[in-house]
Structure 1
Amino acid sequence: MTIDTSTDANVRGLFDDFGAFSTPTPADFSSVLTHGLVSPDANVLLNLYRYTEQARADLLSALGALGDRLWVPHQVLVEFWRNRETTISDARSTSAKAAEEISDHSTQAVQTLRTWANRVALSDDDFNDLRDRLTEIFEEVRKKIKEVGEGEWQHIRHDTSTDPVIAKLESALVGRVGSPFSPEDRTTMTALGNKRVADRVPPGYMDAKKDGDGAVGDFFVWEQLLREASRRQCDVLFVTADAKEDWWRKERGHNRGPRPELTAELRARGGGRLFLLSPKQFLEVAAPVLRLSLQAGSVEDIERVERIEARDTCGGWTREALDALFHGLKYEGYTNRVDVIRYAADAGGEVEAELVYDLCDYDDDRTLRGFTKPIGRISRKLQGQGLIADSAVQVLKAEYRNGPGPASGFTVHPLLVPLINSGGDEEES
């Protein structure tokens, strides 16, 4: 006998309570782009100042083509205006700083050449020839950096009346920005946001250490987005360059979609399905749906900016730099260090000393003193090559929980755990 369950409220399906685990299809994205609510985060708008001119134009065209589906939470513009001038100054100074560093490297290279020439008694003519060729190459690179920088920024100004980014945004956002909280509502939402941060309720708890109302900024964006989605009763696509775990569901370091808590909260507030995309993904998905013709290199440039931002959120490291570290350790015969780092990351960031002995097949009487030195030395080399930031965090650190004496274990920096777990070219065979 067949049981009719069509009216049974207690009968559930595979994705009824687990919508966040359903991989979006092209049809899903087409639907939300043409009938849903599409909202960019503040970092998406600010990154317009970091892209090349063509990438900037393509992303602005995509936002403009959304029409009334485009909607921006008021808090997004609060953060945009708060950070706009700093973003412009930082981006504008990038080329000048790079050109200055190239000049410094040129001076150092000539000094190194001079020291070597003196030691091998190189003739003055040969030295002068090598020096001139060396400085010519550095000068050529410096001029190219300056030329590119000035070309990209010749129209960008702090003055909003002459800033082409502001001109495009102003026309695209007319009537498409939400209202601010009332003073009373803001007080209530601030208290609620701080409680959510303390309880690690997404989004925003990863910003707990930010000053002022920075810790509740993401919650403000989310709450305003929830209210508009509830009013429209539609699906939501949130475009963000934020890759932190309080927005994304992470699987071995990869962003697999929105946090299940966010999906459930949107549903509970009367909205539809929640989608999250990075700016690069948004441009790739939106182009065919909105019938946009992207310029060559736009997607790649947006991806470049995302990689830089990922390094900033991964303790100064990138996937490329981490692979270089692992390759260097293996090349020098320290494969066991890679094994320990991977094991610790997979275990949540810690590994006990006893397990290190097992992983490295060490005798019990061997000391672990200096175990992290090869890691530190190669890391400093990568800093010198510019592969990691000068402020890059220490990959593996010895812990002494039992006081002075032998290390009790080792820890991988929390910011690096997702990056290590994401695998890469140097994955274990």
Structure 2
Amino acid sequence: MKAVVLGGYGLIGSAVMRALAAAGFDVTGVGRSAAAARRMGPGFNWILRDISSVETPEWRNVLRDADVVVNAAGALQDGGRDDLTAIHETAIGRIAAALEGTATRVVQISAAGVGPHASTEFFRSKERGDAILQSSGLDHVILRPVLVIGPAAYGGTALLRAAAAIPLIGLQILPGAQVQTVALDDLARAVVLAAQGAITPGTVADLTEAESRSFPELVQTVRRWQGRPDPKMRLRLPGVLLKASSAMADLLGHLGWRAPLRSTAIRALSDGIAGDPGAWQAAGGFRCRSLDETLAALPSTVQERWFARMFLLFPLLILLLALFWVPSGAIGLIRFDAAVAVLTERGVAMGPAQGAVALGALVDLVLGLAVLSRRWLRPGLIGMIAVSLGYLICGTVLTPDIWTDPLGPFVKVLPGIGLALAVLGLTDDR
């Protein structure tokens, strides 16, 4: 049987593709990033398309031989790279039209808590997409997982790991929120059963453990799983600070960053993430593992601890780079004559000196602002490294005495290069 998985290199999509392949399916993934597809590993077929922009005739061609279509594509919030309506509704409508009259089964991975009156557009748009599929007449199963826990971490699960990794302090975030979880392997197994026809057609079911716990209790459980000691003190994060952080994260979303503190994620957590396993088990499903069982099956390795710590440090490192390069360029322009004098006093002609200072200041400003955008982060970092090396080489030729300056301006460029290299090594988000 042939299965096509939309969003095949995401947290859920990649696990689903591997589980379907292990069950004997011929699996093809659909996604827009060739680099992310390559990182999924060899042995899979890929169709590189932006799911939100594919029209019905092209879907008809892409899905013409599919026995099963699994929709694992989704986005948390509108932003620089995401359009909720296009991904959650328009794409589903076009796929349903393309499959009209076929026996293809569609397995839709939705989310627990969806509804027309839900508190966020994420849940409302997901519900509208589910409704389109339910009214299409296609053979379908809709699975609605709660918070998914797996070896990899994106968004909310990355935030959970990072919150657990904060040294000494246990932040009490949203103490009233109740959360249930589901193992990523259980979700992938459920998709395989649905794809094989073992789940009743038309089933709409939550995938969840039976137990629930508060969000601080969840963080503490993950902290112990990571092998970290209990915090020395517990601090409740003020609501106003959490709202301010969400507003900043929403702003960063327009620059292409999928920050886990965006308002949709915080609102979803504050509402609680809960489901009812009854419908799933009634449709022929299995008992989903508890959080303790899920974590017991996942090794907490050094990679896990590195990720949690670096997830906290990554935005700080980018901010430090921006705060180094932008003021550097601004000071060069504000104190233009003094900067030019550094060169002219060492024998450089006035014209070339002015040109070098002006160009250098503008380049510093551009690079400092570039790293604040997700799209321009890698080019900006590479530019910083190249320009820093250029500064050192040209400075050594034109002003070698600055190497012995008591304040060490040339020497201080070296850790800046190291910082840019470190951030460059952390830029992958899939």
The TM-score, its normalising length taken from structure 1, stands at 0.30
The TM-score, its normalising length taken from structure 2, stands at 0.30
Does 1 or 2 have the higher relative contact order (CA < 8 Å, sep 6+)?
1
- The structure with the greater share of residues assigned to strand is 2
